Amino acid sequence: MIAPLIVRADANARSGIGHLIRSAALAQGWAARGGNAILLASIEGQTPAAIAATGVELRRLPAAHPDPADLPAVLAAARSAGAAYVACDGYHFDAEYTSRLRAAGLRTLVIDDIADAPRYDADIVLNQNIYAERFTYRAAEGTTFLLGPRYALLRREFVRRRDWQRPHPERARRLLVTMGGGGGSEPLMTAIEGLIALGDASLDVTVLAGPSTIGGDTAARAAAQSGLPITFVSNPADMPGLFAGADMALSAGGSTCWEMCFMQLPAVLVTLSDNQSGITAGLHEAGAAQHLGWREQVTPGMIRDAVGGLRDDRARREAMAARGRALVDGLGAERVASALLESVPA
């Protein structure tokens, strides 16, 4: 009998929905091993369709840590479920928080991106990013580290497409734009202005505007006024289908990058925050994407030139796709679940 797993993550305008998405993937990986997983989350607004589509049991919390009600609610859920492990995904879950979970007899997994905390008090630290092995972690003695894209947490709906192969037209005709769920208005507006400057009426553009993306309406109005084929979608249930339907992407540097790598989707990347810098630089270095720079540095002209160049370079798109898939094989959630099982008593 596999002990239940509690997964704790949040989604809001500041942090976006990436933590919640990959936490749901971990919950699916645990369930695939025959265990029960419960996702506890504080969510601003409606539950993202991508989360509902996972089939993971979701219990919404009224407030997030450091609200004093958070930790007691997690401990109560763990006791009620008979859980042995709690996984935490979010920078606000500090060492004091996980220490109290461990003091209650629960083993802890911390999902991290940048190794910037003074200390990590956890049984396992997971960092799925490409530069993870270069980081120095200050952690509790005996901590196990799962580092690198081989541990990238992908939802089951992506993994089902492991045998799918992307076609590469001579000239790309379909572009997916995604600037994350919490990036604010400026990166999205810069992207739209760059595409307007490109002026390619033969390029079908789909903009994925996160449910908490500020300024999405303004960007949509600018796109509509341009007369170009630019369509906005929000909260899609079938993300793999959206990725499969594109020939290339213009994206922020969040955890969506690992989904794009798996889906062999060539991409132009923009760094929006510190926790994305290692991802964007690493994928550029690996040849799996083109990194333009930080949001403050990227201009509409840079977007125009990068998208237009990638559109017309089939060989480079093919190389990016192959290198991305070599980094992310879709088995990360299974590997993490296996590591958890090795640590959790039956």
DSSP codes joined into one string, 281-344: HHHHHHTSSEEEEETTT--HHHHHHHHHHHHT-HHHHHHHHHHHHHH--S-HHHHHHHHHHHHS
| Per-residue pLDDT at 293 exceeds 90 | yes
pLDDT band for position 16 (50/70/90)? confident
Give CA angle at 283 (238, 192), nearest 5°.
60
* Alpha carbons 35 and 337: distance in angstroms, whole number: 10
Give the pLDDT mean for 67-72. Answer: 95
Domain pair 5-159+330-343 / 174-327, same fold: yes
In the chain, the DSSP E strands lie at 5-11, 37-43, 57-60, 85-89, 107-111, 124-127, 144-147, 174-178, 204-208, 230-233, 248-252, 267-271, 290-294
What is the reported pLDDT for 275? 87
What is the reported pLDDT for 216? 60
What is the reported pLDDT for 346? 52
CB 44 within 8 A of CB 13: yes
* Positive or negative: CA dihedral 249, 270, 135, 118: negative
What is the reported pLDDT for 215? 55
At a CB cut-off of 8 Å and minimum separation 6, what does 8 contact?
Answer: 23, 40, 41, 74, 86, 87, 88, 89, 90, 93
CB 58 within 8 A of CB 42: no
Which range among 36-40, 333-337, 340-344 shows the weakest confidence by mean pLDDT? 340-344
Q: For the chain, give every domain's residue range.
A: 5-159+330-343, 174-327
CATH class of the domain whose range is 174-327: alpha beta
**CATH: 3.40.50.720, 3.40.50.11190, 3.40.50.300, 3.40.50.920. Which one for 5-159+330-343?**
3.40.50.11190
What is the reported pLDDT for 155? 96
pLDDT band for position 184 (50/70/90)? low
Give the pLDDT mean for 227-245. Answer: 92
Q: Considering the entire predicted model, what is its pTM?
A: 0.93
What is the reported pLDDT for 181? 60
pLDDT band for position 182 (50/70/90)? low
What is the reported pLDDT for 169? 98
